[in-house]
Structure 1
Amino acid sequence: MNDATTVVTGLGVAAPNGLGLEPYWSAALAGRGGIGPVTRFDASGYPARLAGEIDGFAAEDHLPSRLLPQTDRMTQLALVGADWALQDAGIVPAELPEYDMGVITASHSGGFEFGQNELRALWSKGGRYVSAYQSFAWFYAVNSGQVSIRNGMRGPSGVVVSDQAGGLDALAQARRQIRRGTPVVVSGAVDASICPWGWVAQWASGRISRGTDPTRAYLPFDDEAAGHVPGEGGALLVLEEAGHARERGACQVYAELAGHSATFDPRPGSGRGSALQRAVEQALADADAVPDEVDVVFADAAAVPGLDRAEAEAITKVFGPRGVPVTAPKTMTGRLYSGAAPLDVATACLSIRDGVIPPTVHSSLSGAYDLDLVVDTPRAATVGTALVLARGHGGFNSAVVVRVPRT
């Protein structure tokens, strides 16, 4: 394995407050959210009835008709997101050797909606009414597989499953493959499980908000924090070896993927604290960076008091009290599970590009946390280095450092 520099050259975004990169970024800077009442099914009988849903997405406008009956909504969004990321990077897959391109994504739940529909057909009509596509459409790795097939990408590929942390872990695995010699990897995540089966599974976490007001339901680091609002979407990124990007004349280089670390929390009741701080410190060390170089932290923002406290303590211990601006633009979208952190990485790239930090909307910082939380409106800032945090249910922690490439 060499020390090749991995850079981000393309971004494809599908978010509840913006379908496409620039629509999403405009909404994020305007503080415009995409959280509202669930419309994809009747949620009136459920304790939680708000979600971040993507409006205006018609898969048939973007994909061949043959793909529609064999893919879940999350996969349709992922295929389109990958198309957009490749277009943004100026890459035509057919013009590159097929083994020079890989696909590494993350997944939280797989194709829940597709699976639910086929189970309904099984129990209501019988086995012969179950689609043969059920054999793979529900599977965690299906997004990687379908993106690979669509674009003829036969290089190292795979999937990472570590809940919300998985999106960052997938980017890190892509970086490893680039260091091993694969010039281009499409990576990131898209999740979409706003359906009754998915809803019940998410509710079982005990971390879902019961709030009915979209502006008060998801309030990380707030005294009234009471859980998060689920959402759908995410981001896919084109990661590329820096020399390859330079040689082909890449349209742009958004940032370098400079450092990563993943840790796992001790078991509950052990008396030991979260390992998130260690993930942050190790990610900075991997990037050969020090805390003073970080210009913004994109927080995991669980909106569960105990988890918020642990994250605030980790940030404060590394950077000092109010030592670095902190933001959580996912308050506009809901938590997109494995798609959330890649969307934060894409947002960090845009912050670097445009010199602005998007806000954490609706939350009012609790006096219990000594954070410099960017609230209500964007903050102009020179962003050279950003830290993105993500944590998954069960103890997963992940941290990624992105920055302006060092010459």
Structure 2
Amino acid sequence: MSRAVVTGLGAVTPHGVGVEAYWEGTLAGRLAIRPITRFDPSPYPVRLAGEVPGFSAKEHVPSRIIPQTDHWTHMGLAAAAMALDDSGIDTARTPEYEMAVVTASSSGGTEFGQREMVNLWGRGPEFVGAYQSIAWFYAATTGQISIRHGMRGPCGVIATEQAGGLDAVAQSRRLLRTGTRVVVSGGTDASLCPYGLVAQLSNGMLSRCADPERAYAPFDADAAGYVPGEGGALLIVEDADHARDRGAARIYGEIAGYGATFDPPPGSDRPPTLRRAIEHALADAGIAPCDVDVVFADAMGVPELDRTEADAVTAVFGPGRVPVTAPKTMTGRLYAGGASLDLLAALLSIRDAVIPPTVGVRDTAVDGLDLVLDEPRQAAVRNALVVARGHGGFNAAMVVRAAG
């Protein structure tokens, strides 16, 4: 059975553009949650977000593509190009039907869609551009990456909100087992516009706290929801034999295990299924709980959901037996981009033997978690577990393992 390894990383995040900008800000514990600037947030109850600073589509996207696509796709194209450059893959010399793209999406191109809907209702249908038909679409980023890099293998998109970043990478691993050699996978998101924000407000989980340092504090006694963010990460997931044969410069790690479950509907007397997803991921990786060196938590910031996650982690690993971290407390939850960014962080933890911190948590409200707070923790990391939940009941867990 083919082994899936990660040979390239690309990121566009609230810490900046590029993997090292993200990692430097994360290890420094730098808060990247700020007042929203992409639109006037004053009429809305949520006024903070993790915005990507200094991102210019002109620097990363062909000029003819910019007016055809949404901000979310611009960031996906940028991250994909960075990941491919990092991997050293020569796409011109790789068979086009052996390369694929699988991304995650949650809301599609909301900013582009809002602009065109304003034109429709304010000026009439003749003022709606033809690109509205594709720019909002969930698969737009997958399609644009595929076209730009000549990847004609089995491409796709997975729409499971925050869990999607792991689900997409898991689908990439499946494709490698059926003959594909290289997959661009992960996700980005960008719903920081009035349309996107109002849609998100409907779930009742966004923090309305006005203090950036306290607005997103999962596992805290004052947890009041999460802060939205934009950006994400794209990874090059490659067949291990193909990576070796082409002389890949580096292998960040192996996608070793994956599990996914779906929760029962609210009000049901059946228990949540996050624990089962974690157990499936460990079994798929062939490891025991004692082999896991760090857990990257989903960290919803909603008290009852934080308790559910803490219960699942302690049930599998035992109280205080494994370090737990949530670097997304610095950036906000990035929806379709969030889990793939955690996956990138887990791979960098393996590379650098360090666990990034959780920030903003002052009064821990859950028992049994060894939270890595405020400062990075030096530690050898061989197996890292990433946990993600998507609104609607989606659960995913993934184990990444050191190469070798």
Q: With structure 2 as the length reference, what TM-score do the two structures score?
A: 0.99
The residue identity in structure 2 corresponding to 1:277 is R
Aligned to 1:226: 224
The residue identity in structure 2 corresponding to 1:19 is V
Is the contact made by 1:16 and 1:33 (CA closer than 8 Å) also made in structure 2?
Answer: no
1:67 to partner: Cα distance: 0.6
Matched, 1:128 2:126: yes
Gaps (5+ residues) in structure 1? none
1:365 to partner: Cα distance: 5.0
SS of residue paired to 1:376: coil
Is the contact made by 2:219 and 2:365 (CA closer than 8 Å) also made in structure 1?
Answer: no
Aligned to 1:48: 46
Aligned to 1:350: 348
Aligned to 1:364: 362
Structure 2: how far apart are the matches of 1:132 and 1:92?
Answer: 34
Matched, 1:273 2:271: yes
Structure 2: how far apart are the matches of 1:316 and 1:44?
Answer: 41
Structure 1: how far apart are the matches of 2:15 and 2:329?
Answer: 11
Structure 1: how far apart are the matches of 2:365 and 2:24?
Answer: 31
Structure 2: how far apart are the matches of 1:393 and 1:191?
Answer: 15
Aligned to 1:306: 304
Instruction: After TM superposition, list the pairs within 5 Å mapping 1:233-272 onto structure 2.
Output: 233-272=231-270
Stretch moving more, 327-336 or 366-375: 366-375
Aligned to 2:177: 179
Structure 1: how far apart are the matches of 2:180 and 2:276?
Answer: 29
- What do residues 157-191 of structure 1 show as CA deviations (whole Å, max 9, x unaligned)? 10001111111100000000011110000000000
SS of residue paired to 1:65: coil
Structure 1: how far apart are the matches of 2:291 and 2:338?
Answer: 24
188, 208, 211: which one aligns with 2:209: 211
Report the aligned-residue RMSD. 0.8
Is the contact made by 1:365 and 1:373 (CA closer than 8 Å) also made in structure 2?
Answer: no
Is the contact made by 1:90 and 1:251 (CA closer than 8 Å) also made in structure 2?
Answer: yes
Instruction: After TM superposition, list the pairs within 5 Å mapping 1:7-406 onto structure 2.
Output: 7-406=5-404
Structure 1: how far apart are the matches of 2:180 and 2:92?
Answer: 16
SS of residue paired to 2:25: helix
Count, aligned residues: 404
The residue identity in structure 1 corresponding to 2:232 is G
Is the contact made by 1:312 and 1:370 (CA closer than 8 Å) also made in structure 2?
Answer: yes
Structure 1: how far apart are the matches of 2:190 and 2:24?
Answer: 23
The residue identity in structure 2 corresponding to 1:224 is D
1:43 to partner: Cα distance: 0.6
SS of residue paired to 1:66: coil
Where has structure 1 moved over 6 Å in runs of 4 or more? Answer: none
The residue identity in structure 2 corresponding to 1:330 is K
Structure 2: how far apart are the matches of 1:245 and 1:201?
Answer: 42
Is the contact made by 2:16 and 2:54 (CA closer than 8 Å) also made in structure 1?
Answer: no
Is the contact made by 1:7 and 1:253 (CA closer than 8 Å) also made in structure 2?
Answer: yes
Structure 1: how far apart are the matches of 2:368 and 2:216?
Answer: 20
The residue identity in structure 2 corresponding to 1:82 is A
Is the contact made by 2:310 and 2:366 (CA closer than 8 Å) also made in structure 1?
Answer: no
Q: With structure 1 as the length reference, what TM-score do the two structures score?
A: 0.98
1:272 to partner: Cα distance: 1.9
Gaps (5+ residues) in structure 2? none
